[in-house]
Amino acid sequence: MVARMKEARRMPGAEWLKNHPRWLERIYLWTKRFVVRAYPLMKRINPRFANWLMVRSEEALKGWAFNCQMCGQCILHSTGMTCPMNCPKNLRNGPCGGVRPNGHCEVIPDMPCVWVQAWERSRSMLIFADEIKVIQPPVNRTLQGASAWVTMIEGHDVQTPHGWAMAARQEVER
Amino acid sequence: MNAGPMRAGSRLERVLRSGRFAVTAELDAPDSADPNDVYQNALVLAEVCDAINATDGAGANCHMSSMGCCALLVRAGYEAILQVGCRDRNRIAIQGDLLGAAAMGVKNVLCLTGDDVSAGDQPEAKRVFDLDSIQLLQVARMMRDQGVLLSGRKLRTPPKFFLGAVENPFAPPLDWRPLRLEKKVRAGAEFIQTQYCFDVPRLQQFMRRVRDLGLHEKVYILVGVGPLRSHKAAEFMRDRVPGVWIPDDVIQRMAKTPKAQQAEEGKRICVEIIQQVREIEGVAGVHVMAYRQEEAVAEVIQRAGLLPRQPRVPRFAIPSDEGQGLQRSPQDARQEVAQLSALASEPASANASVQNGRL
């Protein structure tokens, strides 16, 4: 038998937190408010250190809570506070058709499907519950390893390929 | 049904728009480099369906590519549906393939995520999944409607596609599946083929929600069905094929049947399901799948009362000069397929005959 893919890391305490996404919504908003003000100041003092600090703290904190894969374009609040990059197929728009009848992953039978959890958790959210219906653009692979907060502040995470943006504009007009 | 303007004018699209109950079938791509193996399977299916799906590494097992099969099918005048999975190719390869397919005359594209590599015969392979199925749909629609590549570079001639997607109404999270379908429709899906249906009540529940969302007005839904070969095959599919849901009463019905009659019972169940599914409002057709049992597919479609389907006669012609190719009578079809496959193995002479056909 070929070795199976490893299950997503689950840290003590983190599961409880993710199952109470209303707290995480608030933490997200507070952190955003803080980082958006603090990062430009830090950057003015020492840009390299500021970036290093953001990457390291994100790796540690989001790594503990969400098993963050550092894709650099975080959409956690749109996906029920469950990291979609933990899906073995990296799906960002919803579950595949292979989810097992018990709600577990097709690829890793011991792991609950990321998207089953995302859906359940998004239902108990207050602010971002309906963001799960948004069509997410293709992942920008060049942002891998970057801090999602930094890419957000500098606007890189919402820059989609030119063609995609054209199609999205037409969608809005429709 | 009001589903906007004609997209590609493919036969499948015309059948669906006319309001006829459509039938599509799945061609099992051969483990072979012989075009005759494709034509052998296609010959059986083409007479009983409106379009033939060419699978893209189904179950993550390596077979002849969907592109290759579609090229052969289109060359013979059959209606092909190109399946594009996200497992094996990144966005650059996918967009290139879509252009190539359109140039060859493929007009129907089915966008799907694809089974994971771990399900197949080469689980050591790298999984790509650069795009997901919804992004793939939107990319294909963007190429068609905006006439650009993802980078924004303009296409001299945009491809004309009738775009399809898949849905599995039988897998959790059940209450999200209709909303996910809605997302696919927003991303550009014009027809849907579902996973195998063995549980009609669950499908009815799904369709009720789909109708509430008004999606049956926007997208043509073809329900996946297929005959079970035996009790053992049913258990294998339930336990080992990702995403297939077979309720216990179907399994028990197969188990109670003596071994020699199990294949017959499987077909009977399938015919019953087709008849029940036909009655559901919003179902526009069926998609018949059966691994390596083309004859059984044909029999099931015939017994469900879905014939005739006006098969198109194979002809020699390049796809662009529609209708001007050398026409052959249906009686010669079989012989012609043999000739065609002989020609396909010799590219130079095949070209010459295509030229002749054009003149």
Q: Which ipTM did the prediction report?
A: 0.94
Q: B339 falls in which pLDDT band (50, 70, 90)? A: low
Residue A147 DSSP label: -
Report the residue of A75, A96, A131 to disrupt the B interface, i.e. the one with the largest count of B CBs within 10 Å: A96
The whole-number average pLDDT for the span B251-268 is 96
pLDDT band per the 50, 70, 90 thresholds, residue B1: low
Determine the pLDDT at residue A106.
Answer: 92
Helices (H), chain B: 11-17, 35-46, 66-75, 91-104, 133-145, 177-187, 200-212, 231-240, 248-256, 262-278, 294-303, 333-344, 347-358
* CA-based radius of gyration for chain B: 20
More confident residue, B110 or B327: B110
How many separate domains does chain B show? 1
Q: Which of B3-17, B22-36, B201-215, B345-359 has the lowest mean pLDDT?
A: B345-359
User: Coil, strand, or helix at residue B348?
Assistant: helix
pLDDT digits (tens, 9 = 90+) for A30-43: 999 999 999 999 99
pLDDT band for position B323 (50/70/90)? very low
* Section B251-264 average pLDDT: 96
pLDDT greater than 70 at residue B104: yes
| B139 has a pLDDT exceeding 90 | yes
- Residues B186, B188, B193: CA angle, nearest 5 degrees: 100
Nearest to B244 by CA among B189, B313, B306, B170: B170
pLDDT digits (tens, 9 = 90+) for B172-182: 999 999 999 99
Q: Is residue B346 part of a domain?
A: no
Domain membership of residue B184 (yes or no) is yes
Cα dihedral B131, B132, B135, B137, rounded to 10, equals 110
Q: Is B27 left (phi over 0), alpha (psi -120 to 50) or beta?
A: beta
- CATH number for the domain that contains residue B194: 3.20.20.220
Q: Can you give the length of chain A in residues?
A: 174
Provide the shortest C-alpha distance from residue A95 to chain B (in Å): 8
pLDDT at A12: 80
pLDDT score of B353: 44
Nearest to A162 among B91, B132, B152 (CB): B152
Per CB-CB distance under 8 Å, the chain A contacts of B237 are none
Domain residue ranges in chain A: 14-173
Name chain B contacts of A88, Cβ cutoff 8 Å: 116, 127
Identify whether B197 is part of a domain.
yes
B323 part of a folded domain: no
Count, residues in chain B = 359
CA distances from A103 to A99, B62, B173, B249 (A): 6, 28, 7, 21
Chain B residues whose beta carbon lies within 8 Å of the beta carbon of residue A102: 172
Contact residues, chain A, for B224 at CB < 8 Å? none
* Within-domain flag for B336: no
- CB contacts under 8 A, B 17-56 vs A, are none
Contact A164 B150 (CB under 8 A): yes
Chain B, nearest residue to A89 by Cα: B129
